[in-house]
Structure 1
Amino acid sequence: MLIHPWDDARDDTEWRTWLAAHDFGQLAVNGRPGEPPFVQPLHFLYDAGPGAHGEVLTHLARPHPMWPALEADPEVLLSVVDDYVFVPGPWQAAPGTPPEHGTPTSFYAAVQLRCRAEIVDDPAAKAALLDRQTAHFQPEGGSAPVLAGEVPFGRMLPGLRGLRLEILDVRAKFKYANHRTPEIRARMAAELTARGGPRDRAAREHLLRRNPA
């Protein structure tokens, strides 16, 4: 991912705050020699606590074909992208130039986490990991706890493997016209409001947050 200096995260707080509100991404695992990488969409739980950057907790079905590759090379990449919109060319046209001379572009927020994966197979540890995920995604409760060997979910544990991802490095990008003039950014904010499409509001908030008047 190319990150220009003006699109880089301002500090760790910016990407941590954004990631805390996003819990679905794509896990990329290096393929075995001669094979392409595995890319798995999944829900995850980001925990900012452990280590310098925190950790990620998730799980997948035991029959998943990526496990041998993951065991051979535990270095993985978790990619999370959201708040993306298409920006028509006229929105970016420089003042005094024809609108059709403006260059189309994309706005988006992206965080890539380079991680070292630890497979969790111990039944008790796996049950605890699943309970933490459930508490995150279902804070209102309503589900029985996961207990190894006990109903209703204990019998399902052998069919899953947990994953704990230690975050080694973070690359974050917030591409929202950070290098454009205030006049062009004001026009873009107005156009996003007028269009009102999916994710336009979130993109506008990034645009204004990173480029205050």
Structure 2
Amino acid sequence: MLIHPWDAPHDDAEWQHWLARHDFGQLAVNGGDGEPPYVQPLHFAYDPGQREIVTHLARPNPLWPALEARPDVLLSVVDDYAYVPGPWQAAPDVPPEHGVPTSLYAAVQLRCRAQVVDDPAQKAALLNRQVDHFQPRGVSARAAAGEEPYGRMLAGIRALRLEVTDVRAKFKYAGRKPAEVRERIAAGLAARGGPGDARAREHLLRRREA
């Protein structure tokens, strides 16, 4: 992922705050020789203190042999995106029809070292951590090896502990454009009101102020 200086996060807190609210991504696992990578959409829970991600997948998933052979993986999270028409991007001294369209988006890529967890008690503990991230305690029963209601289901999944070894983050929100163009883009997003436009506009204005 290309990251220009004007698209880089201002500090680690910026991408960490964003990632805390975005917990669905795509896990890319190296394929075998001559094979494309496996890409698996999934929910996950990220613990910034331990620099660790926990998740789980069904046991029949075909990526397991590739992951165990090459445990270095990449988790990619992209959101808050919007398409910007060319006229919104046009420089102040050129005709609007000469503007170049672009995309606005936020992206975080986490390079990880994967550890597969098959021990039932450890799987239950990791699964509970993930559930705790997504819903309040007490909404669902706790998973415990050999106990109802989920104990027998644990055999059908494998848990993943992902140790984060590197992070690349990008906030592409017209950071290099002059103030007049950024204001025009912000106004266009507000008027259009399409999916993602409000969040993209928030990022554009927030990063402008910073």
TM-score by length of 2: 0.98
Instruction: Tell me, yes or no, if the aligned pair for 1:89 and 1:103 is still in contact at 8 Å.
Output: yes
Aligned to 1:175: 172
Aligned to 2:187: 190
Q: How big is the shift at 1:11?
A: 1.1
- Cα deviation 1:3-42 (Å, max 9, x = unaligned): 1111111111111010000000000000111211100000
Q: How big is the shift at 1:141?
A: 3.3
Q: How big is the shift at 1:148?
A: 0.3
Aligned to 2:123: 126
C-alpha separation between the residues in 2 aligned to 1:96 and 1:126? 60
Q: Does 1:113 align with 2:110?
A: yes
Q: How big is the shift at 1:140?
A: 5.8
1:82 is aligned, of 61, 79, 84, to 79
Give 5+ residue unaligned stretches, structure 1: none
Aligned to 1:17: 17
Q: How big is the shift at 1:128?
A: 0.7
Aligned to 1:166: 163
Instruction: Tell me, yes or no, if the aligned pair for 1:135 and 1:141 is still in contact at 8 Å.
Output: no
CA RMSD, aligned part only? Answer: 1.0
Report the secondary structure of 1:206's partner residue: helix
Aligned to 1:97: 94
Give 5+ residue unaligned stretches, structure 2: none
C-alpha separation between the residues in 2 aligned to 1:5 and 1:40? 30
Number of residues paired by the alignment?
210
C-alpha separation between the residues in 2 aligned to 1:4 and 1:96? 24
Q: Does 1:68 align with 2:65?
A: yes
Instruction: Tell me, yes or no, if the aligned pair for 1:84 and 1:107 is still in contact at 8 Å.
Output: yes
C-alpha separation between the residues in 2 aligned to 1:141 and 1:87? 44
C-alpha separation between the residues in 1 aligned to 2:144 and 2:209? 50
